Amino acid sequence: MSSTKVEPSDRAFVRARVIASGAAVLVLGISYAYAPYVHDGPVVCLLRGLVGIPCPSCGLTRAFCALSHFELREALRYHALSPLLFAAVVATPFVAAYEVAMRRPVSRPWLFSSKLAWGLATLFLAHHVVRTAGWISDFSVLDGYLRDSWTYAVLTSLGLLPG
Amino acid sequence: MVDRANIPMFKNEPVLVLVLGFVSCGLYLIYWNIKMAEVINAVSGREVISQPIAILSGCCMPVNAYFYYLCGQSMDEVGKLTGKEKLADQAMLLLILGIFVPMVSAMIVQGHINELYEGRTV
């Protein structure tokens, strides 16, 4: 019986794509299963927990949960860039399968593009500035976020702030 | 081995990374991650960290934990360049800190990266 010899580099190439696909499927699965509980979940963001102001990626978990149930409008409300990232996660297993079949890393120019990185960073920056300004203007940063922070909870429990 | 002179300059006070991270509501960490990915890739002599994905590593769990794990793995090369072999096993420490206090991981990484520029003029 003849067998095709797999070079170590080939094995690493396939393994990396299997791991990436597995991670993407896991993210999608967790997003779908966690959706009913996401609004009761704890604050896990260090910035939001300590300072009370959401970080640039805050809202992505809720947005991914909404998108996994095809609730686009809800997802946009939590994070306007979430459909872009969700599409990238959905595409990952397909791109990985294509790369393994073709034995060619077609996603490499995108993954290691400095221009794309700076473009995305600018998009994230603009998005975060606009939405933070919105939260400040309608006072939701005070009512919705500062009061949810760990710092506020500690100060309240010490009696330094009204509960 | 990679020539230290070819490594992109990204020297900061570690405590400044923490302060700017908070003051800018996490926006500075996006910039920091892109620049650090560039430095780590140069130190390793290969593409270890994707810069577009590094954007999410500023605050987004669990991407930040994986980012710091990759940084920790690259500390081996940083240690070889600076003559500090003990840096080799920092991946797990940075991963755990990256989960709970990503900004502390960033400070540690920045501190080690700064050692690469000792004796180098801007």
Residue A44, SS3 per DSSP: coil
Q: Do B34 and A117 touch (CB under 8 A)?
A: yes
Give the residue-averaged pLDDT of A121-125.
90
- The reply to whether B14 falls in a domain is no
Residue B85 is predicted with a pLDDT of: 73
Distance, CA of A120 to CA of A126 (rounded, Å): 10
- CA–centroid distance for A106 within its chain: 23
- The reply to whether B21 falls in a domain is no
Residue with tokens 């590094």: B54
Residues 6+ apart with CB under 8 A from B24: none
Going A34 to A36 to A41 to A44, the CA torsion angle's sign is positive
Least confident of A63-72, A88-97, A127-136: A127-136
Residue of A nearest to B49 (CA): A112
Chain-wide mean pLDDT for chain B?
Answer: 84
- List the one residue out of A68, A57, A58 whose CA is nearest residue A34: A68
Q: Do B56 and A47 touch (CB under 8 A)?
A: no
Least confident of A42-56, A57-71, A73-87, B104-118: A42-56
Q: How many CB pairs under 8 A join A and B?
A: 77
Distance, CA of B26 to CA of A64 (rounded, Å): 20
Q: Do B55 and A116 touch (CB under 8 A)?
A: no
pLDDT tens string B84-122: 777 767 788 888 888 888 888 889 999 989 988 887 665
Residue B1 is predicted with a pLDDT of: 67
Is the pLDDT at A50 greater than 50? The verdict is: yes
What is the length of chain A?
163
> What percent of chain B has pLDDT above 70?
93
pLDDT tens string A80-100: 999 999 999 999 999 999 999
Residue B88 is predicted with a pLDDT of: 67
Strands (DSSP E) found in chain B: none
Least confident of A100-104, A123-127, A134-138, B98-102: B98-102
Q: Do B59 and A58 touch (CB under 8 A)?
A: yes
Distance, CA of A96 to CA of A25 (rounded, Å): 12
- The reply to whether B91 falls in a domain is yes
Q: Do A116 and B47 touch (CB under 8 A)?
A: no
Longest dimension (CA), chain B: 38
Distance, CA of B86 to CA of B75 (rounded, Å): 9
Out of A47, A54, A120, the one facing B52 most closely (by C-beta) is A120
Residues of B in contact with A124 (CB under 8 A): 27, 30, 55
- The reply to whether B2 falls in a domain is no
Radius of gyration of chain A measured on its C-alpha atoms: 21
Give the residue with greater pLDDT, B60 vs A109.
A109
What separation, in Å, do the N-terminal and C-terminal C-alpha atoms of chain A show?
A: 75
Expressed as residue numbers, the domain containing B46 is 26-117
- The reply to whether B17 falls in a domain is no
Please tell me the distance in Å from A55's CA to the nearest CA on chain B: 5
Out of B47, B56, B101, the one facing A57 most closely (by C-beta) is B56
Residues 6+ apart with CB under 8 A from A141: A52, A53, A132, A135
Q: Do A113 and B56 touch (CB under 8 A)?
A: no
- The reply to whether B19 falls in a domain is no
- The reply to whether B66 falls in a domain is yes
Is the pLDDT at A5 greater than 60? The verdict is: no
- The reply to whether B1 falls in a domain is no
> What percent of chain A has pLDDT above 70?
94
Our count of domains for chain B comes to 1
Query: Which of B22, B51, B64 is most worth mutating to test chain A (most A CB atoms within 10 A of its CB)?
Result: B51
